[in-house]
Each structure stands twice: as structure tokens, then as C-alpha cells.
């Protein structure tokens, strides 16, 4: 059985679906601080299978010990964490406590239970403002400009030290670029409870009439149209990569770092235009100054994951946007599904 922490959340739920569709049993531990039980219903309605769910906190050693004692867990995919950059600036202790402290507690419980296979949700944010594009795994980690990014880098370093001290571990540090999109069924996707920080959830709320305009943060970057470039990757491609990473870790010990991106960068305006083309909706824009802490460009060299895992993201930007819009429409019930 695979323990998926944060398995009720956006990425974790897609990972759980992927595991179940490959015959793996999944156990979710989630405190539901940024998700709800409805994602469990959705997973069941898509797959016909219901993962075991335990509501609890990854920082709670007692809960972890009970799970490792009661279930036959052989690996952990650790997605539980906090991810809002702005919130991390306002509440740094909560971010370090959850993202670093929670990871330490989990690793301690795993070690004591004799479970040494771990896949960790890291982030391209650990590269900071990298001068060289595309970014490969040999690029130095940078100095992330916010506590969220720092907490991911610290958790990675904790895991690297842990592996260096004990050869029994197999740890995969998955550096996600910009996950977007939704399950093609339209039944599972990202459901932000507060004002979204990220481009796509905000754009979707503008497109569905919940907000007046999309703020385009910065029009004077050194890019082809002046707006920031990112590597958007479909959440289902990402989920498939977790299974591949798990399979590789079962065969090979040590710490392994893999970039999870497409290798293709798109600007904010590229994304808006593609969305308008695919979904047939005009997105009102409001041009704003740069957002503090943002970098101009960030895209992956995903070659290592392709070579070592046989994984590459194959869903196009258009597909990501169509799937995300289908999910948004199913959420708001305000529109008929308009995507092809």
C-alpha cells in the first residue's frame, strides 16, 4: 500500500487516481486544511475505487505511527504541504512548521517503521532566479525569495542529509514546474477557496465572470512579448510521473532529483491567447506592474526524467486549458461545457 500525504489535494488526488488505475492500493492522510472530502467522492466516481482516507496531520507523530502499524505501507508519496507564496511571507512559521517540520516528522516515522521509499513534492522554486534556460537538475539551487520556496529547499536538504547518512533510503525529489489542468472527466481539479494567486485559476475565474479582469503582472520582462514565461505541465502528466518515479525508486537507492516540466515555456499572453482560442471566450486584461519576487523566465530541461524514468509530459497547453475550463464549468454550473 502507498501512503499519499495530502492526497485529497489538487496534485495528490490525481496521483491517487493514477496509483489506483495501476492496481496500487492508496492510503490518504490529509488534514483537509486546503481540500475537502468531496475529492474522495470524485475519485470514487471516476475510478470506481475508493482510497482509504484518514483525516490527520502529517506533523502528528502518533497518527503516523498508527498508520504504519495498521497498514502494510511500503512507500510514501509526500504531497502534504502549504503552497501559497504570499501567505508564506505573512505566516512563515506555519510554512516552516508544515513543510519542513512535517517532512522531518514523516521521515522519522518512516525510518522507525522500516519504510525507506519516499517521493517528495518539491518545486522549481528551489532554483531561484536561474540565469540559464532550460533549467536542468545540475543547475545550482538558488535563494528562493519567500518562505515557501525556502521551506521546499530546506525539506530537500533534510532529505539529502538523511540519505547520505543511511543507504537504505530511496528518495525522489520531484521539482514541479507549473502544474495546471484537470482530470479529463471534468470531475477533479483545483478548487481554490481563497483568491487565487496563480495564473490559471485566476484566469478561469475571470473567464467564468467571477472577476472583472486578469491582472497581467509585468509587461517589460525580456521575453518575446514582455510578460513572464513559465513551463506549464498537465496535472495528469505529473501524476503519471509519480508512478514512474516510484517504480524507479523501488529499483534504485539514493536520492534522485527529477524536473517535472514539458521543456516548453509560454508567456502570460501566450496562455491567454491559447485559452481564448480553445475555449472561445475573451479574457479582459488589466496590465499591472511586476509582481514582487517574480522572475522573467523559468522552464525545464526534462531530459533526465525522460532518460531515467521514461516519463515525458505529452499533453499540450491547449489540452491543459480545455481540461481546466471543463472543470471550471462543472464547478460553477454557470456555463455549458464549451470546449471541444
**Distance between CA atoms of residues 281 and 105, nearest Å:** 46
Angle at 146 (CA atoms; ends 142, 149), nearest 5 degrees: 55
Using CB under 6 A, pick the residue from 294, 303, 319, 339 that binds ligand UFG.
294
Q: Residue 211 touches which of ligand NAD, ligand UFG, none (CB < 5 to 8 A by kind)?
A: none
Q: Residue 204 touches which of ligand UFG, ligand NAD, none (CB < 5 to 8 A by kind)?
A: none
Q: Which residue is nearest to ligand NAD (CB)?
A: 9
Map residues 106-135 to x or -, x wherever contact with ligand UFG holds by CB under 6 A.
-----------------xxx----------
- 54's torsion region: left (phi>0), alpha (psi -120 to 50) or beta? beta
270 binds ligand NAD, rule: CB under 6 A? no
Using CB under 6 A, pick the residue from 108, 198, 247, 330 that binds ligand UFG.
198
C-alpha cell, 8: 485529497
- Look at residues 142, 95, 148, 113 and name the one whose alpha carbon lies nearest to residue 298: 142
CB of 167 to ligand NAD, least distance (A): 26
Map residues 79-108 to x or -, x wherever contact with ligand NAD holds by CB under 6 A.
xxxxx--------------x---x------
At 76, give phi and psi (nearest 5°). Answer: -130, 135
Map residues 78-97 to x or -, x wherever contact with ligand UFG holds by CB under 6 A.
-----x-x------------
Helix, strand, coil shares, percent, the chain, to 5:
40, 20, 40
DSSP 23: T
9 binds ligand NAD, rule: CB under 6 A? yes
25 binds ligand UFG, rule: CB under 6 A? no
Q: What is the DSSP string of 209-255?
A: TSSS-EEEE-S-SSSSSSS-EE-EEEHHHHHHHHHHHHHHHHH--EE
221 binds ligand NAD, rule: CB under 6 A? no
CB of 79 to ligand NAD, least distance (A): 4
273 binds ligand UFG, rule: CB under 6 A? no
**Distance between CA atoms of residues 46 and 8, nearest Å:** 14
Q: Residue numbers of the site for ligand NAD (CB under 6 A)?
A: 5-6, 8-12, 29-35, 57-59, 79-83, 98, 102, 121, 123, 176, 179
Amino acid at each position: 500500500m502507498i501512503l499519499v500525504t495530502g492526497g485529497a489535494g489538487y496534485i495528490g488526488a490525481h496521483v491517487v487516481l493514477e496509483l489506483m488505475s495501476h492496481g496500487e492500493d492508496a492510503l490518504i492522510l490529509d488534514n483537509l486544511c486546503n481540500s475537502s472530502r468531496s475529492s474522495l467522492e470524485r475519485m470514487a466516481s471516476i475510478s470506481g475505487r475508493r482510497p482509504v482516507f484518514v483525516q490527520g496531520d502529517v506533523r502528528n507523530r502518533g497518527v503516523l505511527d498508527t498508520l504504519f502499524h495498521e497498514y502494510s505501507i511500503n512507500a510514501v508519496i509526500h504531497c502534504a504541504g502549504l503552497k501559497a507564496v504570499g501567505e508564506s511571507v505573512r505566516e512563515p512559521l506555519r510554512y516552516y512548521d508544515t513543510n519542513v517540520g512535517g517532512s522531518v516528522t514523516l521521515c522519522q516515522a518512516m525510518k522507525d517503521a522500516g519504510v525507506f521509499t519516499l517521493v517528495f513534492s518539491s518545486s522549481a522554486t528551489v532554483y531561484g532566479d536561474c540565469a540559464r534556460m532550460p533549467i536542468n537538475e545540475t543547475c545550482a539551487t538558488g535563494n528562493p525569495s519567500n518562505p515557501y520556496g525556502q521551506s521546499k529547499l530546506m525539506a530537500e536538504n533534510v532529505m539529502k542529509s538523511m540519505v547520505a547518512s543511511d543507504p537504505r533510503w530511496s528518495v525522489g525529489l520531484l521539482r514541479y514546474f507549473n502544474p495546471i489542468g484537470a482530470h479529463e472527466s471534468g470531475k477533479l481539479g483545483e478548487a481554490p477557496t481563497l483568491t487565487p494567486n496563480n495564473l490559471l485559476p485566476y484566469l478561469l475565474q475571470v473567464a467564468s465572470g467571477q472577476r472583472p479582469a486578469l491582472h497581467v503582472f509585468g509587461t517589460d520582462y525580456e521575453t518575446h512579448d514582455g510578460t513572464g514565461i513559465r513551463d506549464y505541465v498537465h496535472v495528469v502528466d505529473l501524476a503519471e510521473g509519480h508512478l514512474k518515479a516510484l517504480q524507479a525508486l523501488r529499483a534504485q537507492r539514493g536520492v534522485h532529483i527529477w524536473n517535472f516540466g514539458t521543456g516548453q515555456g509560454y508567456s502570460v499572453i501566450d496562455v491567454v491567447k491559447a485559452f481564448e482560442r480553445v475555449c472561445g471566450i475573451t479574457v479582459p486584461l488589466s496590465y499591472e506592474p511586476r509582481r514582487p519576487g517574480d522572475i522573467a523566465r523559468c522552464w525545464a530541461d526534462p531530459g533526465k526524467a525522460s532518460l531515467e524514468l521514461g516519463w515525458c509530459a505529452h499533453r499540450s497547453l491547449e489540452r491543459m486549458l480545455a481540461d481546466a475550463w471543463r472543470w471550471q464549468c462543472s464547478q460553477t454550473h454557470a456555463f455549458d461545457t464549451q470546449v471541444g
